[in-house]
A and B are shown apart, each in its own frame.
Chain A
Amino acid sequence: MDDAALDAWIEAATAALGIAVKPEWRQAIRTHLAISLGHAETVLAAELSDHLDPAPVFRA
């Protein structure tokens, strides 16, 4: 995703969430969003069973 696409995402989603982003924050948010989306891509590429339960309240 290029910078323009990331900026469009930031603009639309922060508006939907009610977060007022100042222009001087934009570059850092874009950097962190790109990192996070990279990790999301890695996670979403995992082939997992439909029957695997998510583990948010986790008991080791």
Chain B
Amino acid sequence: MNPFATATEIAAAVRDGRTSASAVIDACLTRIERLNPALNAFTAVTAERARARAAALDAGAKTGPLAGVPFAVKNLIDIAGLPTLAGSKINRDHPPAAADSPLVTRLEAAGAILVGALNMGEYAYDFTGENAHEGPSRNPHDLMRMSGGSSGGSGSAVGGGLVPLALGSDTNGSIRVPSSFCGLFGLKPTYGRLTRAGSFPFVSSLDHLGPLALSVADLALSYDAMQGYDRHDPGCADRPVDLVSGGLESGIGGLRIVSAGGYFRAGASPEALAALDGIAAALGVTETVTIPEAQRARSAAYIITTTEGAALHLDRLRTRPDDFDPDVRDRLIAGALVPAAALVQAQKFRRWFCQQMLRLFDRVDAILAPATPCVAPLIGQKTFVLDGKEMPLRPNIGIYTQPISFIGLPVVAVPVATASGLPIGVQVITAPWREDMALRIARHLEAGGAARTLQPDL
């Protein structure tokens, strides 16, 4: 089977008997063994478990929307029997997780088969995919470039055709940035939609989990399988499941789609602007809107992140500072020194900004914005030029994603090919709980060819 076969295609082949789950898993594990030394996407491969599950599936009814589909998870998501590293050296000392996270359990209940844990930036505080302890996960389209972070291994593994589906987390852009750099479809659902139980936190106010995949249908299938209230995550909303797969082909007729201007164009590279404008043209979008106070929303997200993150890790900063990735440690220490008044004001501003955006969604259904200001930078690069000024890279890759996750809006990142041969992403942003609409628009773009994944020759 083509290593870039989608989850939808694999599951159909397994259900129809054209292949077996065991054959799929064997091919997947062989490809991981061959390519992971270069991509550095995986930190653990659960081969024995995967083979056992595949054999059980083959011996049974071979049903399920994700029957026989290999998947892997960012290593902040619990896998029974493994310590949940969250990209750190310190967590290697933690006891192994006693159980799988609910999202892993739900995907496996749909027939998917876990094959391992994925590399990530330490404690999810990066946009680069770099990691001082494991080495960087690498971009499958150019191994010298960043995979994006913090779900870097997720981007690298799916982009390289090692697995068709991976889970990541997104606090400020950590699903959307690697989706952009690695040329994938990524879904950051509404804040509170998918349970975060059984995952290592970063910023509880902002943390989301979600899938990265090779197709919109794969995002929808996995998202449908993972929905459902979970009282073990206080942030999880008690809402009915809203299945989206069946409505993907409904088209975009009647949808009011606009493009974000102002803040969301300032600083964008020519590639990012061309991708945004190409997607807008493919959707027939003519209106540009200004999102009010987007810069301040980004600043508020930054403050919540750095202060909550610092508070989470304060004891570790006191007792084991030398065991941190220095790039993460120094940012967290700075975050511990920010006045508390700024955090409270940021949370108040979050309420105000959400109210303004809900008003905007009274008259529009979806907003387009760049996912990243540029294509994937080189690994090790510390600065880049943003809006004519040289700026630190690590804190600023997420300038266009941060204001959106700040108020938990659902987003599908769609991949666009650029003239450089590297991909870049565009965000399709909708009102809270309207993942269905964002996915429909993404599917329309995929079906028309405006958004597409690239298959690197590895």
Which residues of A line the B interface, CB within 8 A?
9-10, 13-14, 17-22, 25, 28-33, 35-40, 42-44, 46, 48, 52-60
Contacts and interface: CB of A to CB of B under 8 A. Distances in A.
Interface stretch (B100-108, B150-158, B326-334): B326-334
B432 A19 contact: no
16 contacts: A13-B336, A17-B314, A20-B318, A29-B334, A32-B331, A42-B295, A46-B296, A52-B352, A54-B344, A55-B205, A57-B235, A58-B205, A58-B408, A59-B237, A60-B192, A60-B354
Contacts, number: 134
A20 B322 CA distance: 10
Contact of A36 (B295, B306, B407): B306
Contact of B299 (A28, A29, A42, A57): A42
B338 interface: yes
Contacts of A43: 296, 299-300, 303, 342, 345-346, 349
A42 B300 CA distance: 8
Contacts of A36: 302-303, 306, 334-335, 337-338
Contacts of A21: 333
B267 interface: no
A39 B302 contact: yes
Interface string B303-331: 10010000000100110010000110111
A43 B409 CA distance: 20
Decide if the interface of chain B is mainly helix, strand, loop or mixed: helix
B132 to A, nearest CB: 13
Decide if the interface of chain A is mainly helix, strand, loop or mixed: helix
B170 to A, nearest CB: 14
B341 interface: yes
A31 B334 CA distance: 9
B427 interface: no
B352 A46 contact: yes
Contact of B432 (A22, A28, A40, A60): A60
Contacts of B190: 60
Given A13-B336, A36-B338, 10 more contacts: A19-B314, A35-B334, A35-B392, A40-B299, A40-B338, A40-B342, A44-B345, A58-B191, A58-B354, A60-B408
